[in-house]
Chains A and B, each alone.
Chain A
Amino acid sequence: MIGAMACVVRRDLALALRRKGDAANTLVFFVIVVSLFPLGVGPERALLQSMAPGILWVAALLSALLSLARLFEPDYADGTLEQMALSVEPLTVLMIGKILAHWLLTGVPLTLLAPVLALQFDLHADAIAVLCAGLLIGTAALSFVGAVGAALTLGLRGGGVLSALLVLPLFIPVLIFGSGAVVAVESGLDATAHLQLLAAFLLVSVVIAPWAAASAVRLALD
């Protein structure tokens, strides 16, 4: 079962390597969205510093959302998803593989890019460390929860907007705990409680989301 999962992850990574543009676009989008905020609210350093956690997290949320459209759609179009549903391996496990691959392709690069952007907002080193830790856990949760939305809207007209409508409210706890952790560090408090809650949310979504995504994919294939 682990083998099948690893196989799916390897396959998705190989496919992504062949089309590097797709993964890169998400990152460029992340950078652009973050850069828009100083232009919108003005360049005052103190204001931007206090807004930075929220800005970075909202941008990460939107980037994750944008990349969700590619999570199942290509496999749905070329019939790979159908083969997965027919395979002897449980679809739920294969879903976990696909979600992990999605996280490796979007969440991890976002986390690596975030410190550079955080410097633009003059965040402290320990705040940046907590931001990265939060993003690493949080983007995984986003990939899991987002997979449900992507699977539910598979093959529907206007699927992209609809999936945003379904998934964004469910992202809210991640946003609150993730940016809350950075705000806590910025104001000299301990951020472990936030990160633990983020990890708890991730665990809950790891339990529920693959099952829900697998059922939704089966529905779309019927």
Chain B
Amino acid sequence: MKVELSALTTSPQVKQVNNAASERIHWFWFASPQTFYPLAGRMVPWFVWLAVLLCIAGTYVGFFIAPTDAQQGDAYRIIFLHVPAAWMSMFLYVVMAFWAGVGLVFNTRLSSMLATAIAPTGAIFTFLALWTGSLWGKPTWGTWWVWDARLTSELILLFLYFGFMALQAAIDDPRRADRAGAILALVGVINVPIIYFSVVWWNTLHQGASISMKSAPTMAMTMLLGMLLMALAFWMYSLATILSRVRSIILEREWHTQWCKEEIRRAS
């Protein structure tokens, strides 16, 4: 299944395919770590700046424009961090599984490296969702931890991230680590909706209706806007850290190649 880039670009038969599906070839061109490395390096500062700007905008909307909630007071302002962190944690798991799957099927090294790079950032956002959820729960529910569906499934998601990272860390051969991680991530991503559904079901059976963060009585437009801005900020931050981590992973794995040696010489 290995895509031979040189064969693709030289063979006249494939040339036609090349034109027809130029978009795809374009992406495969960047699937090589050597071409992706400088591209990622150029993109990182942009994403950092976008993250900073969006974070400022989101904080401004969330803390200065959004009105105080009638029921929860100002404690609700935690959701401007909690909900975007929870969104990112779930989104990143799916993206991680996607790239791990692409790496497994097409045998593209860079996809697997991306999946490896996504895991720590995903785990961090899961942890932040749990931390902020707990701090939100204390004034709202009166306890630091409630076994509600959202917090419980975030906790399980954290376990899934830990499993992925622990498995990859335990395997010395990077290619085996990539594939083993991909199998686990694919099994995990099929399981995530099942786990979420079962936890919601378990929760409704055991404690009936509980206050949830979804039931903020009337979600004002400014609240939604603040959450959206913060989610975008976290997204840009994730892109920046993931790309930066992928660059490190590329160098760690390919330091013996000529282009990496030149790159390292130039950078240091």
Please say whether the chains A and B touch (CB closer than 8 A).
Answer: yes
A170 and B162 contacting across the interface, CB-CB below 8 Å: no
Of residues 173 through 196 on chain B, the ones whose CB sits less than 8 Å from some CB of chain A are 176, 179-180, 183-184, 186-188, 190-191, 194-195
Instruction: Return chain A residues, CB-CB under 8 Å to B39.
Output: none
Of residues 137 through 184 on chain B, the ones whose CB sits less than 8 Å from some CB of chain A are 156, 159-160, 162-163, 166-167, 170-171, 176, 179-180, 183-184
Instruction: Using C-beta atoms within 8 Å of the partner chain, give the interface range for chain B.
Output: 20 to 34
- Interface core residue of B166, B180, B186 (most chain A CB under 10 Å): B180
Instruction: Return chain B residues, CB-CB under 8 Å to A177.
Output: 198
Of residues 142 through 186 on chain A, the ones whose CB sits less than 8 Å from some CB of chain B are 145, 148, 152-153, 156-159, 162, 165-166, 168-170, 172-173, 176-177, 180, 183-184
Instruction: Return chain A residues, CB-CB under 8 Å to B190.
Output: 204, 208
Does A219 interact with chain B (Cβ within 8 Å)? Answer: yes
- State the B residues within 8 Å of A (CB): 156, 159-160, 162-163, 166-167, 170-171, 176, 179-180, 183-184, 186-188, 190-191, 194-195, 198-199, 201-202, 205
Q: Which of A157, A197, A201, A219 contacts B180 (CB 8 A)?
A: A219
CA distance A173 to B167 in the complex (A): 22
A218, closest chain B residue (CB): B179
Known: A165-B162, A170-B187. A204 touches B194 (CB 8 A): yes
**Looking at chain A's contact residues, is the secondary structure mostly helix, strand, loop, or mixed?**
helix
Query: Could you pull out 29 A-B pairs where Cβ atoms are within 8 angstroms?
Result: A148-B183, A148-B184, A148-B187, A152-B183, A152-B184, A156-B170, A156-B171, A165-B159, A165-B162, A166-B166, A169-B156, A169-B159, A170-B187, A172-B195, A173-B191, A173-B198, A176-B202, A180-B202, A184-B205, A201-B194, A204-B190, A208-B187, A208-B190, A209-B187, A212-B187, A215-B179, A216-B180, A216-B183, A219-B180
Instruction: Using C-beta atoms within 8 Å of the partner chain, give the interface range for chain A.
Output: 20 to 34
Instruction: Return chain B residues, CB-CB under 8 Å to A216.
Output: 180, 183
A214, closest chain B residue (CB): B183
Does A222 interact with chain B (Cβ within 8 Å)? Answer: yes
B170 and A169 contacting across the interface, CB-CB below 8 Å: no
Instruction: Return chain A residues, CB-CB under 8 Å to B188.
Output: 169-170
B183 and A173 contacting across the interface, CB-CB below 8 Å: no
A151, closest chain B residue (CB): B183
CA distance A204 to B189 in the complex (A): 13
CA distance A172 to B166 in the complex (A): 19
- Interface core residue of A158, A169, A173, A201 (most chain B CB under 10 Å): A169
Instruction: Return chain B residues, CB-CB under 8 Å to A148.
Output: 183-184, 187
Q: Which of A145, A162, A173, A222 contacts B166 (CB 8 A)?
A: A162
Instruction: Return chain B residues, CB-CB under 8 Å to A159.
Output: 170
- Interface core residue of B162, B163, B167 (most chain A CB under 10 Å): B163
Instruction: Return chain B residues, CB-CB under 8 Å to A169.
Output: 156, 159-160, 163, 188, 191, 195
Nearest CB in chain A: distance from B169 CB, A? 9
A176 and B201 contacting across the interface, CB-CB below 8 Å: yes
A152 and B167 contacting across the interface, CB-CB below 8 Å: yes
CA distance A21 to B156 in the complex (A): 34
CA distance A152 to B171 in the complex (A): 10
Known: A152-B167, A153-B170. A172 touches B180 (CB 8 A): no
